[in-house]
Amino acid sequence: MQVIYKIPELALYIERLKKQNLEIGFVPTMGALHEGHLSLIGNSKKRCPVTLTSIFVNPTQFNDPNDLKNYPRDLETDLKKLASASCDAVFVPSESDMYPEKDTRVFDFDGIDTLMEGEHRPGHFNGVAQIVSKLFDLVNPDVAFFGQKDFQQVAIIRKMVKKLNLNVQIVACPIIRETDGLAMSSRNLLLTEEHRKIAPLIHQTLMQAVAKSNGLSVPQIKSWVVETINQSGLLKVEYFEVVDDQQLIPSKTFKNGKNNIGCIAVWAGNIRLIDNISFNL
């Protein structure tokens, strides 16, 4: 596996691949890699002759300085995991390389950035678009792979690709979960033992909500989910919203043949966890 630290070195690597007409699969990450990330690499390797990933904790998508400061980082372990997953190359840039000057670009996402994550993390998705567009420009991938756990983020990136007329296909891959159902996340490493034990309640409640959705309205389901999780005493729901899977418009009713997605953010102590589930009736 080739480890690339500098942009000129990356440019030479990409140029060689393009001359050979090799399709590039790209998996951008912020490190602290887990099986969810490695599954994205696996999906890329099944589809593309070359798989490249990046590790960069992007400061512009953090609206909380403490969150940025505490975000887990372990490059040595990450590189070992990528090598064991047979990743072909990894790009590990510095902040000064990615942002030699302040990125003042402001993206228009037609409003889908203002609800759910966008409402509670102002500026987050603009920061995501800044770094992903920079990485797409440098890597010039044919296909990019993202985890479905970040459902709204995938929708934002698809919108960005369309608006910028980028020639890259976005593939959303299934959520990878721990054996107890908790969605895998780099932030799970920061949970206390007590919060880690109760955190699977999030997914358990979402599954029960899908089972109840034939008999209850959307407002009833939303209230039940929030009450059920909050009653644990250790978890607090920041939001739970049911939206259509295309435009992210909040759903008023469950309709057969229409795929609604239940998206949730929950505080486990000082750690914020997100998850989602399909209400595909």
Within a domain: 161? yes
Catalytic residue among 37, 124, 195, 203: 37
According to the model, what pLDDT value does residue 215 have? Answer: 82
* Ranges of the chain with pLDDT below 50: none
Same domain, 111 and 197: no
CATH code of the domain containing 236: 3.30.1300.10
Q: Is residue 101 part of a domain?
A: yes
Query: Per residue in 123-153, pLDDT tens?
Result: 999 999 999 999 999 999 999 999 999 999 9
Domain that holds residue 120: 2-173
CATH number of domain containing 151 = 3.40.50.620
Number of structural domains (the chain) is 2
Q: Kindly give the interhelix angle for 7-19 and 124-139, rounded to the nearest 10 degrees.
A: 60
Q: For the full predicted model, state whether its pTM sits above 0.85.
A: yes
Is 37 noted as a catalytic residue in this protein? yes
Residue 147 within any structural domain of the chain: yes
Mark whether 96 and 152 lie in a shared domain: yes
One domain, residues 202 and 223: yes
| pLDDT tens, position by position, 96-132 | 999 999 999 999 999 999 999 999 999 999 999 999 9
Residues 217 and 253 in one domain: yes
**CA-based nearest residue to 170, from 158, 186, 152:** 158
Question: Do 30 and 118 fall within a single domain?
Answer: yes
Tokens 């259509």 label which residue? 244
